[in-house]
Amino acid sequence: MAFNAKKYLEKLRSEALAEAERDGVAIRVSNLTKSFKLPTERAWGLKQAIFNRLRGIKGYKKQVVLSGIDFEVKKGEFLGIVGRNGSGKSTLLKLLAEIYVPDSGKVTVNGSLVPFIELGVGFNPELTGRENIYLNGAMLGFSNREVDKMYNEIVKFAELEDFMDQKLKNYSSGMQVRLAFSIAIRAKGDILVLDEVLAVGDAAFQEKCNNYFASLHGNQTVILVTHDMGNVERFCDRAILIEKGKIVKDGEPKAVADAYRKLWD
Amino acid sequence: MASKRKNMILLSEMVKTDFKLRYQGSVLGYLWAVLRPLLMFAILYVVFAKILRFGGDVPHYPVYLLVGTVLWNFFTECTGMGIHAIEGRGDLIRKLSFPKYIVVVSATSTAVINMLINMVVVTVFALINGVTPSLTWLLVIPLLIELYLLALGISLLLGAIDVKFRDIGSIWEVLMQAMFYAVPIIYPISMVLETSALAAKILLLNPIAQVIQDVRYCLITTETTTSWELLGVKLGLVPIILCVILFILAVWYFRRKAPYFAEEV
């Protein structure tokens, strides 16, 4: 029985993928719902947990973060996701990246997806810049040999040629982000998912980053989460506005940006 | 499979980093991997072999004692690192999608490397002490694998529980303190046998005791009591079966909980 259920799920998955491929869709999200259990009384230890159980306290309350989310991203599309703090954007991103599992609903990802929930994942302050490039590269799925090949380019783009043998803890925060960003843009995937990573470094470096994003436009499926409406209008083909866990607007970047600004009126 | 390759890259890079960081900033560096058990052995040797004279008629008692300490150290180090692995790597788990067992395996791998180095030291000591090499030495390999499976099983099981109940680490530490005296490391099992055969039998049902006694039997001297000899073939299988059952249970529980680590850790 268990074996059949597994087979059935596999079959459903491959059917969904085939359908997405036929429609030229990179990501299809249907009726997605996610909630978290928020601890009401801190049950951070065994003692509390047992006490709460004895007193009939559940110890958490359920908070719905996203409900009934439906959208598609076409291949090659540059989609912006905007919304206020706590609206559920980052949760949505983590669901797309398969970091969280949904309560119900489905996410179909057609192709390989590279998520940047944060820059420099796994960076270790006790290691040198050089060692961190290899470490962070591994997080993105690059073997040592593959990193060898792009090492010089990464260092050059980050403008950190003289600092590679220093420990990361001696870098300024700007330098760290530059290094992380330079590694991140080497990642190759069918779909890139970026969470507010645009605003890094000084003005000159920003210019470089913006050029990179402009170069992605039209060649790559990108999902970008941001607060910067300027970037939404500049880079995106389409945008989605999320408010209190629901999609309230889906359409032209300009119209969505206007709706976002209206949230404060 | 592309994702399998990515997982292997991630695992090997994490193992390398953990090992590198372990002894960073210390003057003697990796030498500590060998020095620590040797120093611990020296203390135990002075106290138990010279002052309390526990060794009695056990041939090659110093090596006998060293094997016990090395294997016990491996077990405590392995579970100690493994139980806190998920909690300690929360930063990665919250931002990357990858099989979570990788974190536990990489955390325990430093202990495995240390143990292998130490077993080489043990072998050198054995030869110096006049133990004659024999083919039974090869049987040590499956025994070490059994011990690692036990440590890994406990790490997976308690590590998954530790995500929610941080008390687990402290409870385990105390348990290990107690267990140290329940395993024939510093005293020969023959000492227990003299007073109570039943107590000796119960002690040898413990997989850790079984492995330590078997390794001593295969590596150093057949004049020691193993689980097989004392319990018979049928009951002698109990420790091994315990290991297997625990490992299966741990994998089942870990896989059930792993999808929610990202939101709970």
- A127 to chain B, any CB pair closer than 8 A? The answer is yes
Q: Is B260 exposed, middle or buried (0-12, 13-18, 19+ CB in 10 A)?
A: middle
Q: Domain boundaries in chain B?
A: 2-264
CA B190 to chain A, closest CA, distance in angstroms equals: 40
Contact between B167 and A47 using a beta-carbon 8 Å cutoff = yes
Find, in chain A, the residue whose alpha carbon is nearest to that of B98.
A99
CB-nearest partner of A141 from B9, B91, B165: B9
The CA distance from B230 to B200, in Å, is: 8
Q: Domain boundaries in chain A?
A: 2-112+227-262
Find, in chain A, the residue whose alpha carbon is nearest to that of B20.
A127
User: What is the average per-residue pLDDT within A178-198?
Assistant: 84
What are the chain A neighbours of B24 within 8 Å (beta carbons)? 126
Contacting A with CB below 8 Å, chain B residues are 2, 5-6, 9-10, 12-14, 17, 20-21, 24-25, 91-97, 164-168, 171, 259-260, 262-263
CB-nearest partner of B95 from A112, A117, A143: A117
CA B154 to chain A, closest CA, distance in angstroms equals: 18
More confident residue, A4 or B133: B133
pLDDT of the residue at B159: 96
pLDDT in tens, A15-33: 888 888 888 889 999 999 9
Contact between B94 and A99 using a beta-carbon 8 Å cutoff = yes
User: What is the average per-residue pLDDT within A152-163?
Assistant: 92
Contact between A101 and B260 using a beta-carbon 8 Å cutoff = yes
- A139 to chain B, any CB pair closer than 8 A? The answer is yes
pLDDT in tens, B32-86: 888 887 888 888 888 887 888 877 777 888 888 899 999 999 999 999 999 999 9
SS (H, E, C) chain A: CHHHHHHHHHHHHHHHHHHHHHCCEEEEEEEEEEEEEEECCCCCCHHHHHHHHHCCCCCEEEEEEEEEEEEEEECCCEEEEEECCCCCHHHHHHHHCCCCCCCEEEEEECCCEEEECCCCCCCCCCCEHHHHHHHHHHHCCCCHHHHHHHHHHHHHHHCCHHHCCCEHHHCCHHHHHHHHHHHHCCCCCCEEEEECCCCCCCHHHHHHHHHHHHHHCCCCEEEEECCCHHHHHHHCCEEEEEECCEEEEEECHHHHHHHHHHCCC
CB-nearest partner of A118 from B6, B95, B260: B95
CB-nearest partner of B97 from A36, A49, A99: A99
**CATH annotation of A2-112+227-262:** 3.40.50.300
pLDDT of the residue at A59: 65
pLDDT of the residue at B33: 80
Contact between A124 and B17 using a beta-carbon 8 Å cutoff = yes
- A46 to chain B, any CB pair closer than 8 A? The answer is yes
pLDDT in tens, A88-142: 988 999 999 999 999 999 999 988 888 887 788 889 999 999 999 999 999 888 9
What the block records as the tokens of B68 is: 């016990």
Contact between B17 and A112 using a beta-carbon 8 Å cutoff = no
CB-nearest partner of B259 from A46, A101, A134: A101
- A118 to chain B, any CB pair closer than 8 A? The answer is yes
pLDDT < 50: residue spans in chain B: 1
User: What is the average per-residue pLDDT within A189-217?
Assistant: 79
CA B20 to chain A, closest CA, distance in angstroms equals: 9
The CA distance from A205 to A200, in Å, is: 7
Instruction: Count other C-beta atoms under 10 Å from residue A82's C-beta.
Output: 27
pLDDT in tens, A32-82: 999 998 776 655 666 777 776 777 666 677 889 999 999 999 999 999 999
pLDDT of the residue at A239: 95
pLDDT of the residue at A9: 81
Chain A interface mutation, best of B16, B20, B23, B165, highest count of A Cβ atoms under 10 Å = B165
CB-nearest partner of B9 from A43, A99, A143: A143
pLDDT of the residue at B86: 95
**Residue A2: pLDDT over 60:** no
Q: Are A263 and A84 in contact (CB under 8 A)?
A: yes
A248 confidence band (pLDDT: 50, 70, 90): very high
Q: Is A152 exposed, middle or buried (0-12, 13-18, 19+ CB in 10 A)?
A: exposed
